Structure 1
Amino acid sequence: MTKRSSPAKTGPQHLVLLSIDLLDSSLHYPGDHPPFESFHFDVHITSKADDEKSQVLVVVTIGVHHETIASQLGSLTINCTFTMSNFADVVRLNAAGQPDMPDDLVETLHSTALSTARGVMFATFRGTFLHHALLPLITPGSLTEDKKINS
């Protein structure tokens, strides 16, 4: 008797980034201070799904801090909207209404949204006192919930 292999996991097909929306940004200049050389980042990432539109929305919020200043220096929130041709086969809503997706899809969506946030952050803070606050590269899968990053 031969053992049957389990069916292959369904992955996203024709994954598309539909939009990038800057939801919020702020700068809080701390006054006279030597140039900043190192920063700390609070990164929050959440996903939600819109079944009617067959879309996944990934919201990334980044807070920028410095170790010698108690208050937040700046922040940025973006929304990335994704779709895929086989949305109904890949994305399910759990009892809490949150999307239940394969881990590799979550990793891809989060990684893409973080990279996009990095670019939007650079463009938004360019020429300000946060010009050198560059979000470091984050290993895919290492950011599951809220995380503090140092650079």
Structure 2
Amino acid sequence: MEILDSCLNAPTTPLPPNPKFQFDLAIEHRINLENNLVIVICKVGIRNESKETLFGELRGSCIFFVEKLNDYFDPQTNKLNLPEDFVVTLNSVTISSMRGLMFSFFRGTFLHQAVLPIIDPKSFEKNT
């Protein structure tokens, strides 16, 4: 797991006690067939309750070694066809790892209480 990008935008006024945050979450998959790697990149944006203000963002990646990754690659379509349950597992591990990174990264800041909630990794919409 590694942090790729981060930003922190201080609010113009102090946050109320127990603020409510909204989270934008996006996941991207990249592959390195030569080394049998699947790289899952997760970006989390933290916004105010009305989603008008972006307080912070963290983007990180988890790198997974997948034996015989070439077996799942279709050269005609240039796409990777991993089993859906396996993709959900990769996403779940990455989201959980991001939760820990966020807690550590934002500790001691105004986003200390911005804890990423439990998210169903099956609920993501797939963009191709």
TM-score range, shorter chain: 0.7 to 0.9
Structure holding more helix per residue:
2
Q: Gaps spanning 5+ residues in structure 2: where?
A: none
Corresponding residue number in structure 2 for 1:49: 31
Q: TM-score by structure 1 length?
A: 0.75
Note if contact 1:48-1:98 (Cα within 8 Å) is conserved in structure 2.
no
* Cα offset, 1:97, TM superposition: 4.0
Q: Deviations over 1:69-107 (max 9, x none)?
A: 722100000011001223233x32566644321101100
| 1:67 matches 2:49 | yes
Q: What amino acid sits opposite 2:120 in the alignment?
A: T
Higher relative contact order (CA 8 A, sep 6+): 1
Aligned residue among 91, 103, 107 for 1:122: 103
**Kindly, what percent of the aligned residue pairs are identical?**
36
TM-score by length of 2: 0.87
Q: Deviations along 1:32-85, whole A, 9 cap, x unmatched? A: 223452100000001111111110000000000002572210000001100122
In structure 2, the partner of 1:13 is none
1:29 aligned residue: 10
Aligned-pair Cα RMSD in Å: 2.0
Cα distance in 2 between the residues matched to 1:69 and 1:104: 31
Matched positions, count: 126
- CA gap of 1:95–1:123, structure 2 versus 1, over 3 A, is farther
Could you list the runs of 5+ residues in structure 1 that have no partner in the other structure?
A: 1-19, 147-151
Q: Confirm or deny: 8 A CA contact 1:47 1:99 kept in the other structure.
A: no
Bigger CA radius of gyration: 1
Note if 1:80 corresponds to 2:62: yes
